[in-house]
Structure 1
Amino acid sequence: MKLSKRSIYIIVIIVLTIAIDQISKSLVRASIAPQTEIQRGERISLVGDAFIMMNVENTGAFLGMGSDLNPMLRLIFLLILPILVLVFVLRYIIKDKSLDNLSLFAFSSIVGGGIANVFDRIVYGSVTDFFFIDLGGVFKTGIFNMADLSVTTGMIILVLVSFKKKKVTE
């Protein structure tokens, strides 16, 4: 079976996204003391107090939501449902030949980031988060990782592309 350039593009983006995420998480796990409920972990200042690295194991989803769910609900909402959504999105981008390269990049980034975080939940029972941004009350994030950044970037690109398409059709 010969893969098309389009399929190779999708695979490369997904694999690169997963690789960058998993390598960054491995480096963080190996070199930064984790934060626990009892003890504050190591914090590394990248840009003053505005951009900090730390090691937090997140047993929930976005910003730790769902970490206090019972095990069966966590299994459903943090593993089964995300896997079904990822399969659906992957199937969609493979089948819909009308998607432009920017939309393909965005969807592939979302799928790669989703796979990377699901992989962590399966293998480690949690997701390693490590970046934190605080721009003095103007802008403040939760603690996130490269997979989260890929998913968020993909979503922003899709929103911008949809606005551009709406403008063109008007």
Structure 2
Amino acid sequence: MRLLWLSAAIVFVLDQLTKVIVVQLLGLSTRGVIEVLPPFVTFRMAWNRGVNFGVFAGDGDVTRWILVAVALAISAWVVFWLRREKPGRWGMISGGVLVGGALGNVLDRLIYGAVADFLNMSCCGIDNPYSFNVADIAIFVGAVGLILFTGRSKTA
């Protein structure tokens, strides 16, 4: 379980640190856009009140608190499941990465009322209108890792 908590803490701190640097110190929240390596990497401020791509976005506090509760419930379920499953090193790291990302976005919702998304990447003539953050990447990578590194029979 130590690997789960360590990887969760690293992802959580990295997510929050990048948000403080980009959104607060670089002033992205007031500037709106900072071109880093256009068009490949742009910091584009987006306050996400929903889930991925703003789905289920609502300006009401009810949506905010439902999404906080869902993220906390999923995180608790992942921890409980991995404690029971004992999947090994990569499964624990994957779970921690997912939990750390989820908790990073939960903290955003508690502090700002929305998730601070700022990474925008486009390539090859495709203009991506969406922004995301380190926590979003971690949630995706952690979920893929859980698929790859858990569920194997211990008797095989």
User: Could you tell me the TM-score, scaled by structure 1's length?
Assistant: 0.78
Whole-Å Cα distance in 1 between the matches of residues 68 and 96 of structure 2?
19
Q: 1:162 Cα shift?
A: 6.2
Moved more, 67-76 or 85-94: 67-76
Encode CA deviations 1:36-94: one digit per residue, 9 max, x unaligned.
Answer: xxxx7222223x30221222222222111122364324422x11122111111112222
Encode CA deviations 1:125-151: one digit per residue, 9 max, x unaligned.
Answer: 111111111112569473110000111
Q: 1:21 Cα shift?
A: 0.2
What count of residue pairs does the alignment treat as equivalent?
Answer: 153
Which structure has more relative contact order (CA 8 Å, sep 6+)? It is 2
Whole-Å Cα distance in 2 between the matches of residues 81 and 158 of structure 1?
18
Cα RMSD for the two superposed structures: 2.5
Amino acid at match of 2:23: R
User: Could you tell me the TM-score, scaled by structure 2's length?
Assistant: 0.84
Whole-Å Cα distance in 1 between the matches of residues 111 and 63 of structure 2?
18
Q: List alignment gaps of at least 5 residues for structure 2.
A: none
1:33 matched to 2:31? The reply is: no
State which structure, 1 or 2, has the greater radius of gyration over its C-alpha atoms: 1
Pair 1:158–1:139, CA change in 2 (3 A): farther
What does 1:114-153 align with in structure 2 at a 5 Å threshold? Answer: 114-137=102-125, 140=128, 142-153=130-141
Whole-Å Cα distance in 2 between the matches of residues 92 and 103 of structure 1?
11
Q: Which runs of 4+ in 1 moved over 4 A?
A: 137-141
1:159 matched to 2:147? The reply is: yes
Which position in structure 2 is the counterpart of 1:51? 41
What does 1:1-150 align with in structure 2 at a 5 Å threshold? Answer: 7-30=1-24, 31-34=26-29, 41-46=32-37, 48-68=38-58, 70-76=60-66, 78-97=67-86, 99-137=87-125, 140=128, 142-150=130-138
Whole-Å Cα distance in 2 between the matches of residues 140 and 156 of structure 1?
22
Pair 1:156–1:67, CA change in 2 (3 A): same
Q: List alignment gaps of at least 5 residues for structure 1.
A: 1-6
Aligned residues: percent identity? 23
CA contact (8 A) 2:94 2:146 kept: yes
